[in-house]
Chains A and B, each alone.
Chain A
Amino acid sequence: MNNRKIIIIGNGIAGITAARHIRKKDVGAEILVVSGESDHFFSRTALMYIYMGHMKYAHTKPYEDGFWEKNRINLKRAWVDTVDFQGKKVEYRDGGTDAYDVLILATGSKPNKFGWPGQDLQGVQGLYSLQDLERMEQNTKDIKKAVIVGGGLIGIEMAEMLASRKIEVTFLVREENFWDNVLPKEEAQLIGRHIREHHIDLRLGTELGEIIGDSSGRVKAVSTKSGEKIDCQFVGLTVGVSPNIEFLRNSELGTNRGILVNEFFQTNIPDVYAIGDCAEFKQAPAPDRRNIEQVWYTGRMHGETLAHNLTHSKAVPYKPGIWFNSAKFFDIEYQTYGTVPTALPADWDWFYWEDPKGKRCFRIVFGKSDKKIKGVNALGWRLRHAYFDKAIAEGWMMEKVLLHLQKANFDPEFFDSPHKDVLAAYNEQYGKSLQPALKSLFQNLFGTKV
């Protein structure tokens, strides 16, 4: 293990987590993290806040610049053009090479483009990198109207970003409801209403036809499949991302959509690993998981697990726990734990509660016959991760989960927690009379054991 040279391509959450944890367990290794995007690790998830003026780029860096030197993690700002897997070295675009003993590929994603006419016009772009953000800054300077194509998480973030600059936004979503390939109908509709509350012109069931440019090569309008023409000076393409591995294709590295790995993140080449958005598991890590995991948390866990394997004699397979995720749609926060399908499988059931004001909701999914919890969704209500991780892992009865919902409440103090309303609605719908354990005034004031 001594003094081996580890090169990590990619300074995102996956690569950086690996680097940090390797350093913790292996004081001797020489660690080099290479990225062409930025000098330091920053939080990609915070890109929108830079554009909206909530933060500056410096605020999005989770570690002070001195941290890296202190932990002897070398950083290099460069694009890797080729990897010589035989000679075990990486070659940089601007010349020069570095040799490695172990190579970790953590190159992330890039925005999808589906070959639409006009997709390369000026003023048309996706949002993934810092450079994208800079381009967006220039492309949206002094414009009035923008169109966003694609109803996912980055699409809605882009809508919020543009709206914060008082740019009129038309939001084209192919599906019947916003993000309804992930959210059940009610949640998707709740978000749809909220999007419109923010004066976004949300067009559901609408597909992009083509992007139309002016004589100078700048976008001036889009047309939809149904033939409608919408004037705009900016088009955001947010129709998903795919692994950023172009420079590795046509090498001996095994790839499909991403870099193919087993449950130990090993590629087909010894001492070469892939983690984060760019990795594609030959076999999905769990029945409810995809082969390519493209979220922050999984990137982190890949990094943690690989670092463990590289610093311990016995390697462990990647075994993700109960699924969780979160997002924020304008002002409404979303959290999910476990499995919540968009449509019910035969032996599953669910219970849905929505606040009369229509800005908060809660859904619990459970087995039709065994009544064991499978997952929850919440909008506008913060829930305690530890509570649901335990409940789902231990297979609690859904009524037990509902009875103790107060313990799951993670909203700030003095917020009126909807746990009682949820239970009351459940009682009414199912003709039950469940009563929650009441907290005494003393407990409310001084807090109880969680």
Chain B
Amino acid sequence: MKQFQQAGIVIFVISLLLFSVLPFIGSYKLEKETLAASVKTEHLGVMEEVLAPMVGQEFSSNFAFMGEFNRLFGGYNDAMKANQQWDKVIWDNYAFALTKASALGPVSQNPHFYLFITVVFGVVGALMYILPMYRGKPEGIKHDGIFFSSMKSKGLLGILTGTWLILFYIVLYWFPEYLTNLVLMVDPISMALSGNPASQWFLYGFVYTLAIIVMGIRMFRKYRGNAYQTIRTVSVMFFQLAFAFLLPEIMVLMNMPWHDFKNIWPLDYSFFYDYRIDGMVNAGALGMFMLIWGIILIVLGVPIFTYFFGKRWYCSWVCGCGGLAETLGDPYRQLSDKSVKAWKIERYLIHGVLVFAILMTGLTIANYFTEFALLGQATNQLHSIYGFAIGSAFAGVVGTGFYPLMGNRVWCRFGCPLAAYLGIVQRFKSRFRITTNGGQCISCGNCSTYCEMGIDVRWYAQRGQNIVRSSCVGCGVCSAVCPRGVLKLENADEEGRINEKPILIGNNSITLNA
């Protein structure tokens, strides 16, 4: 079985390497027709002129192709800017569309084959490793050797993995034109689902969903015997696959705006942007439903569900970011910083992002209803700052790229404005808490170590105090790893939930407030 698993690892690593080099194979040639098909009519004339030197010429790599494109196109724009001819500057980003359409390589000829040797093989290899895990071992906590593992305790493997993820996100967000081969590879799937060719976002959603499913299966193995973990994992797998991946594509197939029904503002920060509102308003009854449903979730769904169940109903049962953190990120949960200092930074950052998101959205809506009289196009500036700094850099590059370095909930803990909102409700008006079991805590530290949100659970447990921290996503792992049965996630009466002066049971000499 061991060899079988090792073979799985080898297959996985090979397919990951292929996946990583695939973007750099093949040659590129821009044809006149391609240009016509990919460029807006109002830009066509200029583009034909500007790009004329490279049209019909074959480039041996996407670097060479992009180099030439940037030289010509950038040169044009720079010249216009230098002459202050702002109306002539072309702001549209054609790099991705043109590169994709110009690819000549083997991938565009034979996408199925490449999908097979990268993604399908990768999944098979991963499953070959995962499925036999802990076979024949009794149910229980499987944490042996975590802090000896290079991958799981910031060793070389962890750093390499983090670097790979960070690079992937940087290229995905800011240089998608270098990923065209990968996007071409998933074109057939996208065509089958929505009838449209794939974009880099489709590629991302596809890989993301696969990661949640494969690593979700790993969760079943690792937490075998723990019903809470199993059911919760099924839930995030389902919501990712159905609500975040399939349903939005089906919406597109039906000529509706792409829409993820479980995503909630302000995590879904563009929900109130004018193009989204217009899209929904113009999409008939279902579009109106999207809009109303989205607003109901914000004003009723969040407070009501959080009142009854705590923020976990969303963060560790439904959310896509949470879903990835709980599956792909599970091996790294012990890396979160538990210090009081980190907690302080967390509170400033996450509430700062919430305020930013609210202000931005407020201005956007005001601007929308005053028909752009208020701020004109200035909100667009705000949107791109938020999109760059929070939506891409924070949520993506830092949020996921830093899994192997700072734990799996960096974004959820320090950045997510929805988590901040849910957290405020959870802290002040909720029935959810983690109850500590009388005086049974032995201060061992397993709970704090494995809390992905960096909550020092032990601090509370050893003084017999309920844990009602706003950041707790209710993953239940602290409770699972506690060797003395001290922690229980519960929804119960609000009375006595917050016990600032707890009493440890068992010492009748004195009544003592720890």
Contacts and interface: CB of A to CB of B under 8 A. Distances in A.
Given A54-B143, A62-B462, A330-B140, A45 B443 contact: yes
Nearest to B147: A53
Contact of A321 (B138, B431, B506): B506
Contacts of A446: 308, 431, 491
A301 interface: yes
B505 A331 contact: no
A412 B227 contact: yes
Name the 8 nearest CB pairs between A and B, nearest first: A385-B438, A331-B140, A382-B485, A447-B491, A414-B227, A46-B444, A53-B145, A321-B508
A301 to B, nearest CB: 4
A320 interface: yes
Interface residues of B, number: 55
Given A43-B442, A62-B462, A52 B139 contact: no
Nearest to A448: B492
Nearest to A264: B509
Interface in A403-441: 410-416
Contact of B445 (A13, A46, A304, A328): A46
B23 interface: no
A296 interface: yes
Interface in B379-433: 431
B145 A301 contact: no
Interface string A47-60: 00100111110011
A55 B504 CA distance: 26
A330 B138 contact: yes
A447 B442 contact: no
A428 B147 CA distance: 49
Given A45-B444, A321-B506, A447-B492, A62 B458 contact: yes
Interface in B456-496: 458-459, 462, 476, 479-480, 483-485, 488-493, 495
Interface stretch (A79-87, A213-221, A311-319): A311-319
Contacts of B508: 319-321
B439 interface: yes
Contacts of A59: 445, 448-449
A11 interface: no
B446 interface: yes
B445 A301 contact: no
Contacts of A61: 445
B491 A49 contact: no
Nearest to A326: B484
Interface string A375-407: 000000011111001000000000000000000
Interface centre among B149, B448, B490 (most CB of A within 10 A): B490
Given A320-B506, A324-B439, 16 more contacts: A46-B442, A46-B444, A53-B143, A197-B138, A300-B504, A304-B507, A316-B510, A319-B508, A324-B506, A326-B484, A327-B484, A385-B506, A389-B438, A449-B493, A450-B435, A450-B493
Could you tell me the dominant secondary structure of chain B's interface residues? loop
A9 to B, nearest CB: 20
A55 B228 contact: no
Interface of A: 13, 21, 43, 45-46, 49, 52-56, 59-62, 64, 164, 194, 197-198, 296-297, 300-301, 304-305, 308, 316-322, 324, 326-328, 330-331, 333, 335, 382-386, 389, 410-416, 446-450
Contacts of A60: 444-445
A202 to B, nearest CB: 15
Nearest to B437: A385
B148 interface: yes
A237 B446 CA distance: 26
B315 to A, nearest CB: 16
Contact of A331 (B138, B437, B495): B138
B33 interface: no
Contacts of B440: 297, 324, 326, 335, 385
B507 A320 contact: yes
Interface centre among B148, B231, B484 (most CB of A within 10 A): B484
A13 B442 CA distance: 9
Interface centre among A21, A64, A326 (most CB of B within 10 A): A326
Contacts of B509: 301, 304-305, 308, 316-320
